[in-house]
Amino acid sequence: MIATLDDAARLLRPAAHLGIVSRPLYLLPLLRAGALTALLSSEAADAGWAERFGVELHSLEEHTLSRDGGPGGPGLDGVTARLAGLVGARWRGRELRLAGYGGQRGHWTAAVEATGARLLVPPPVPDHEVLVDKTAMRGWFDHLGVPAPASTVVSGRPDHRALRDRFGAVFVAQSPRGSGGNGTHLVRSAEEAAALPERERWLVSEYVGDTAINVHGFVGVDGLPQVLRPSLQLIGVEAAGAGFGQYAGCDFGAPERLSPVAVRRCLDATERIGWALAGLGYRGVFGADFVLRDDHALALEINCRMQGSSWLLGETELERGDGRLPTPVRHVLERHGVPTLGKPDPDRADGVQLTVRHTGAPARAVRVPEAGAYVLREGALVRRGDAAGLLECGPGETVLVNLPPAGTLVRPGAVLARLVTRSPLTAPDGRTLTAGGRGLVDALHRLYSFGVSGTEG
C-alpha cells in the first residue's frame, strides 16, 4: 500500500512514466513528484519546465506555433505522428508506463512503440454508456435516486416552439458527448434554436441556473469510494472570454460561501455515485458536476478521468506538507493496479484558477508575458519571481501559467493564460468577475501585443 510521496517516489522514479496530455499544467502534481520521464502535449509547457522538473517535453505547439481553443486530441495526434523523428533512437528498448490525463488512443500507443519503446497502458475504463454519454447519465442518476434537471432527447434540430411548453422559453441544448462545456448552448428564442446544427441526438434540459459545483471523488482498487474537495466551477465568465457553459476555472474556497445544505447534498450524491461506479468496475479519480438551485443540487454529469481542476486539487493537497499523496498521483498508481492510501481533507483550501481566452481574430502574439508570480500595482502586473502553480503563490500574488510562446498564432478561444491565486476572482455565481478579478484580467491583456491579421507586421 503506497501511502506517502516518498513511497511513491521510490516506486515511480525507477519505472519510467510517459505523460500524454493536452496541457502540461494538468499533470503538474506528477511533475512535482518526479513521476514523469517524458511528456507529450498539444500545447507547449511554460519556459523552464523541462529543466525544473527533469522531464523530456515534446509538444505540437512548439512546431506549429499555433494555438486554438479546440479539444486536445487533434494536437496529441499531431505530436505523436512526429514522435519517431523527435526522439530518434533514444527510446529504443525502453519500457514506459502511461500517465494520461484521460483515455488513451491506440494510434498513440503505436506511435510510441514505433520508436522502439514499449508502452504499458492501464486497463481501459469499463465500457458503459453511463460513463461517457450525458443522455445515459441522466437515466442512471434517476436509477440511483440522484436528482437531475428535467430533460429529453431530440433529433435533428431542437424545436423551440415544441420545447418551450415543457421547459419554458429558455432551455439548454447539449451534445451528448463533450467536455469543458463544448457543445453546450443556451437557447432563448426560435432563432437561436434554428441556428444550431442538426444532430442525431440533442440532450435538451430545463435551465435551472448558473451556479455549478464540481466534487472530486476517488474509487480505489479496493472498490471503496471517497469523496474529496468540492469546488465552485467558473462557467461562462464572459469577461475572461468564456461562452455560455464553457469551463473557465474553479475556486476551492468558494463552496464555504454557498448554501451549506446544497453543498452537503452534492457531497452525499457524489458518494452514492462513487459506490455505483465501483460496482461498474471503475477505478481512479472521477468528478461529479452539479448545478445549485436554492438549497437543492441537481446532477449534470460525471467525468471518469482527471479534470481541468484536478491539478489544482493536487496542489492544495501537496500544500498540506504532510507527505500524503496528491490525488493525480494516486490516480496514475491505482489505474496501473497499485493500491494507495488516501484520506479526504475537510479543511478549507484557498486555491483559484481562472482561464483567460483570446476573443479577437486570429493574431500573432508578438509580446507575451513571462510565466511566474506577479503582483498587481497601480493597475499593472509586476513580476516577482519564478512560479509554476499554487505552491509558489504568496499572499497577494497571482501566478501566470499556460502561456503561449512568443510568435504563436493565437486563434479565437485559445488560452492566453491561467491566473492562479488564493483570493476569489468571481462572485459566488462563478460567472461575474469581482473588481479585483477584472483588474487582473485587464492588466494581463496589457502585457500582450499582437500582430495584424495573424502576422507580425
185 and 246, same domain (yes or no): no
218 and 313, same domain (yes or no): yes
Distance, in Å, from the CA atom of 142 to the CA atom of 145, rounded to the nearest integer, reads 5
**For the chain, first and last CA: distance in Å?**
59
280 and 229, same domain (yes or no): yes
- On whether residue 137 sits in a domain, the answer given is no
- On whether residue 67 sits in a domain, the answer given is yes
- On whether residue 134 sits in a domain, the answer given is no
401 and 289, same domain (yes or no): no
Helix 327-335 with 310-318: angle, nearest 10 deg? 110
- On whether residue 172 sits in a domain, the answer given is yes
58 and 38, same domain (yes or no): yes
Distance, in Å, from the CA atom of 128 to the CA atom of 430, rounded to the nearest integer, reads 32
- On whether residue 306 sits in a domain, the answer given is yes
Q: What angle do CA 178, 309, 174 make, to 5 degrees?
A: 20
- How many domains does one find in the chain? 4
Please report the pLDDT score of residue 341 as a whole number: 86
Among 294, 309, 335, identify where a domain stops: 335
Among 191, 206, 221, identify where a domain stops: 206
Q: Any bridge partners for residue 398, and if so which?
A: 374
- On whether residue 138 sits in a domain, the answer given is no
21 and 113, same domain (yes or no): yes
Distance, in Å, from the CA atom of 350 to the CA atom of 373, rounded to the nearest integer, reads 16
Burial 103-140 (b: 16+ CB within 10 A, else e): ebeeebbebbeebebebebbeebeeeebbbbbbebbeb
47 and 93, same domain (yes or no): yes
Distance, in Å, from the CA atom of 149 to the CA atom of 172, rounded to the nearest integer, reads 10
- On whether residue 397 sits in a domain, the answer given is yes
- On whether residue 133 sits in a domain, the answer given is no
380 and 395, same domain (yes or no): yes
Give the ranges where 118-159 is alpha helix by DSSP (H).
Answer: 134-144
Tens digit of pLDDT at every position of the chain (457 positions): 888 888 887 777 667 899 999 999 999 999 999 889 999 999 999 999 999 999 999 999 999 999 998 766 678 999 999 999 999 999 999 999 999 887 778 899 999 999 999 999 998 889 899 999 999 999 999 999 999 999 999 999 999 999 999 999 999 999 887 665 677 899 999 999 999 999 999 999 999 988 999 999 999 999 999 999 999 999 999 999 998 888 999 999 999 999 999 999 999 999 999 999 999 999 999 999 999 999 999 999 999 999 999 999 999 999 988 888 999 999 999 998 889 988 777 677 899 999 999 999 999 999 999 999 999 999 999 999 999 999 999 999 999 999 999 999 999 999 999 999 999 999 998 999 999 999 999 999 999 999 965 554 3
Please report the pLDDT score of residue 344 as a whole number: 79
82 and 185, same domain (yes or no): no
220 and 202, same domain (yes or no): no
Residue 287: which domain range?
A: 210-335
Please report the pLDDT score of residue 456 as a whole number: 45
